[in-house]
Amino acid sequence: MKTHLIALDLDGTLLDNNKNISLRNRSIISKLRELGHKVCIATGRPYRASKDYYNELLLDSPIVNFNGAFIHHPKDPANFPAKHTPLDIGIAKTIIETCEAFRVENIMVEIIDEYYLRYRNRGFSDAFTLGELPIKYGNLTELIKEDPTSLLIHPEENNHQQLKALLEDAHAEVIEQRSWGDPWNVIEVVKAGLNKAIGLKKIAEYYDIPRERIIAFGDEDNDLEMLEYAGNGVAMGNAISELKTVANEETVTNEQDGIAVFLEEYFSIK
């Protein structure tokens, strides 16, 4: 069989609800790589929060972080130049000021693998910092000095949709925003036009693999463009309904090893 490119979202897709990769998923990925197929990760996470999974799978491929805002090759940067597409710092500061007016729980500003926090120990911050301390925390409009890769905003639950609508009205032409799934009520903001499909296309070109031989798995709205781009977009059983609508196929849930179930059948591997 000709070489395929297999793109894996992490949370809610490759990872179970305890944020682990199951033995069955890990085994099928290893077998497919032995057969010459290419496997990559495409995630909204920064690299610091995805590199352990990258290493666990023994990958040697490029990776898509921040939903396409940072595309790079941890093992071969010379032959795959990193592409970083940050937000304009002025726009970022305006958004931060708007969020301050809404008295949000917390704001995280990411710049590749470094981050700044509005409040050091409030709301979602512990879940995304992996025990690493921020560069600084406090007044973000004064602290950040360069274009950020992304903003993570944790609004009060009753203000989530109102804040999203306000940001859409004010900045629709220059930002993309996504809502994260449970358990965190988080809004992610990156530069307009960015998505995982952009990163997947760059990786496919690197390996000279056509779209019809790309298989992509996902579960949330940040996977929409990637599943539409792939020749075979596969929605997890736990995916949002909108993703299932655009997907070519559906597998079982992340808790049921949906990736392995699909790939074992697709490639006729027991």
End residue of a domain, out of 191, 224, 258:
191
CB within 8 Å of 15: residues ≥ 6 apart: 21, 53, 254
143-183 per-position pLDDT tens digit: 999 999 999 998 887 777 888 887 787 787 888 888 776 66
- Band (72; pLDDT cuts 50, 70, 90): very high
End residue of a domain, out of 191, 218, 237:
191
Q: Answer for the pair 188, 92: CB distance below 8 angstroms, yes or no.
A: no
Alpha-carbon dihedral sign for residues 219, 182, 22, 115: positive
Domain count, the chain: 2
Q: What is the CATH number of the domain that holds 96?
A: 3.30.1240.10
d(CA 87, CA 92): 7
87-131 per-position pLDDT tens digit: 999 999 999 998 888 888 889 999 998 889 998 765 565 556 666
Q: What is the CATH number of the domain that holds 200?
A: 3.40.50.1000
- My answer on whether 94 and 187 are in the same domain is yes
Which range marks the domain in which residue 161 is found? 89-191
Residue 60 has pLDDT above 90, yes or no: yes
Catalytic hit among 9, 219, 223, 257 = 9
- My answer on whether 67 and 96 are in the same domain is no
- My answer on whether 103 and 178 are in the same domain is yes
- My answer on whether 114 and 236 are in the same domain is no
CB within 8 Å of 141: residues ≥ 6 apart: 93, 96, 97
The stretches of 2-75 forming alpha helices (DSSP H) are: 23-34, 51-56
Q: What is the signed CA dihedral for 259, 127, 144, 200, rounded to 10 degrees?
A: 0
- My answer on whether 178 and 60 are in the same domain is no
- My answer on whether 178 and 218 are in the same domain is no
Active site includes 9? yes
Residue 183, preceding bond cis, omega within 30 degrees? Answer: yes
Please tell me the predicted confidence (pLDDT) of residue 124.
60
